[in-house]
Amino acid sequence: MQTLKLTIAVAALAAFAAPVLAQTPAPAAPPIDTIVAIVEQGDVLDVMGMAYTLIYKPDGSYTDDQGSGGKWRADGAKLCITPEAIGQELCSDYPAGKKSGDKFEITSDFGPMTVTIK
């Protein structure tokens, strides 16, 4: 009898957990116009007085003028980069409506950052 109760409990738990385990993450939202412009044109990030020019590639990688690079991804108004040197994803929210030549500030993991879209 004890074995039967345990079997029923395990089966109930498995039936409850299966849909949760089968869930996949929600797909990313399409990037906003500002991020589309950044990915197409590249940008210059000024962080604490140091400027870095980033070039984004369609394969989800990027390089900068310092010889470094990593991966990038966009999700709506959020642009995330994972520098190879750090190995940790860093995400920032971007304002909509910016285009090539625009300069604006965002908040990053390193504090305020000035972004200029090339």
CATH number at residue 83: 2.40.128
What is the reported pLDDT for 74?
98
Q: pLDDT tens digits, the chain, 118 residues: what are they?
A: 443 333 333 333 344 444 444 566 788 899 999 999 999 999 999 998 999 999 999 999 999 999 999 999 999 999 999 999 999 999 999 999 999 999 999 998 888 999 999 9
**pLDDT given for residue 55 in this prediction:** 98
The pLDDT assigned to 22 comes to 54
> What domain range is 58 assigned to?
33-117
Q: In 3-state terms, the chain is what percent helix, strand and coil (to 5)?
A: 25, 40, 35
In a domain, 77, yes or no: yes
Backbone angles phi, psi at 9, to 5 degrees: -65, -45
84 to 54, 72, 80, 88, 118: CA distances (angstroms): 14, 11, 13, 8, 23
83 falls within a domain: yes
* Measured distance CA(27)–CA(5) in Å, rounded: 40
Per the structure, the count of domains in the chain is 1
Residue 73 lies in a domain: yes
Answer whether residue 92 is part of any domain: yes
- Residue 33 has phi, psi (to 5 degrees) of -60, -35
Centroid of chain to Cα 69: 15
In a domain, 103, yes or no: yes
